[in-house]
Amino acid sequence: MVKFLKRFYLSLIFIFLYAPILVLIIYSFNESKSRGHWGGFTLKWYGELFRDRDIIKALYYTFLVALLSSIISTVIGTFSAIGIHNMGHFGKKLALNINYLPVLNPDIVTGIALMTLFISLRMQLGFLTMLLSHIMFNIPYVILSVLPKLKQMNKHTTEAALDLGATPSYAFRKVVIPEIMPGVITGALIAFTLSIDDFVISFFNTGPGVTNLSIHVFSMARKGVKPSINALTTLMLLTVVILLLLINKRTTKGDELIP
């Protein structure tokens, strides 16, 4: 009985989480514009999606900012995590507490603070300010993803490489990076996801002509969200699922190769 209740409770949680996504996918094939009436099966909203220049433009800026910010924040965050890991006890504790601030801080506070900073520096709000704000927002998450791998790494491995004649840069590339690579990849994926998902920070730090998907959907909500957005989110969800399957397959193959 207890086992059944546990499974039932777990099933309710998954239903609560995934039922809205399932409804969204179903209504992306709905002939009717109404979200409360099924008018028959159609693919026309997928055609409308690729003909809507505003959505395509917003999607372009969304993925461009997400890709650039995730790459840059991953590089900066990885080197920052290595620096924090090699600090003394007091310095490490201070750096980690400072790193937690953007994570715990409400997005609206971070967004307004960054906007004020950019305006005080006389920077015109637009693509560059949005990109910089996303980089700043993502770096702490990358640091928190890489640090556990650095703690798990055997420090004597790097010392052994140096004793055998490896230069510090060579030991870093051939010893340290492969050891922490899972954390680096995790941090990059988190940064990419957070950048695509972000609305508040993007809203306060963008300018005319630069709109990501979340801002575009927010502006559409006043007049009514087009069914083509359902089609777009369905395609994005399908892309994420395919990427997850490929990553899991690659990870499984890697585990099988380990004796």
Structure confidence by residue, pLDDT tens digits, 48-104: 888 888 888 888 999 999 999 999 999 999 999 999 988 888 888 999 998 888 888
What is the token pair recorded at 95? Answer: 């750096």
Q: Are residues 116 and 196 in the same domain?
A: yes
Q: pLDDT value at position 81?
A: 93
For residues 121 and 244, membership in a common domain is answered with no
CA distance 119 to 114: 9
**58: burial class by Cβ within 10 Å (0-12, 13-18, 19+)?**
buried
pLDDT of residue 178 exceeding 90, the answer is no
Residue listed under structure tokens 């340290």: 176
Both 191 and 253 in one domain: the answer is no
Same domain, 199 and 175: yes
Average pLDDT of the segment spanning 26-54: 81
| Structural domain count of the chain | 2
Residue 34 clears pLDDT 90, i.e. is over it: no
Is residue 221 scored above 80 in pLDDT?
no
**Does 242 lie in the same domain as 183?**
no
What pLDDT is recorded for position 138?
93
**Sign of the torsion angle spanned by Cα atoms 205, 209, 213, 218:** positive
Phi then psi for residue 41, to 5 deg, are -80, 140
pLDDT > 70? residue 13? yes
105, part of any domain: yes
What is the residue-wise DSSP string for 188-231? HHHHHHHHHH--HHHHHS--TT---HHHHHHHHHTT---HHHHH
85 and 109 in a single domain? The answer is: yes
- Mean pLDDT across the stretch 12-39? 83
Report pLDDT for 129. Answer: 93
Banded model confidence at residue 134, pLDDT cuts 50, 70, 90:
very high
177 and 148, same domain (yes or no): yes
Residue 17 falls inside a structural domain: no
Contact 99, 140 (CB under 8 A): yes
pLDDT at site 67: 93
Residue from 193, 188, 190, 191 nearest 236 by CA: 193
Instruction: Identify whether residues 177 and 133 lie together within a single domain.
Output: yes
Whether 62 maps to a domain, the answer reads yes
Q: Is the dihedral of CA 223, 226, 230, 236 positive or negative?
A: negative
Task: Report the alpha-carbon distance of residue 108 to residue 184 in Å, rounded.
Answer: 27
One domain, residues 77 and 202 = yes
In a domain, 28, yes or no: no
Mean pLDDT of 153-172: 81
Lookup: tokens for 86 = 């090699």
141 vs 230, higher pLDDT: 141
Residue 259 has pLDDT above 60, yes or no: no
Rg, Å, the chain Cα set: 23
pLDDT at 252: 59
* 214 within 8 A of 59, measured Cβ to Cβ: no
**Cα(114)–Cα(153) distance, rounded to whole angstroms?**
36
Distance of CA 193 to the CA centre of its chain: 2
Residue 60, domain member (yes or no): yes
Average pLDDT value over all residues in the chain: 85
Amino acid at the residue 56: I
pLDDT at 254: 46
Return the minimum-mean-pLDDT range out of 10-19, 50-59, 136-145, 235-244: 235-244
For the segment 224-254, what is each residue's pLDDT rounded down to a tens digit? 777 888 888 888 888 778 877 776 665 555 4
6 occurs within a structural domain: no
pLDDT score recorded for residue 258: 42
Name the residue with higher pLDDT: 43 or 64: 64
Per-residue pLDDT at 39 exceeds 80: no
Least confident of 111-115, 124-128, 238-242: 238-242
Domain span holding position 151: 54-213
What CATH number did the domain enclosing 129 receive?
A: 1.10.3720.10
Backbone angles phi, psi at 131, to 5 degrees: -65, -45
Q: Are 206 and 230 contained in the same domain?
A: no
152 and 246 in a single domain? The answer is no
Joined tokens for residue 43: 């693919």
- Between the alpha carbon of residue 69 and those of residues 66, 154, 233, the distances in Å are 5, 30, 21
Residue 49 lies in a domain: no
Per the domain annotation, does 66 fall within a domain? yes
60 Cβ neighbours under 8 A, 6+ residues apart: none
> Stretch 109-120: mean pLDDT, rounded?
92
Say if residue 123 is in the same domain as residue 235: no
How far apart (Å, rounded) are the C-alpha atoms in residues 7 and 12?
9
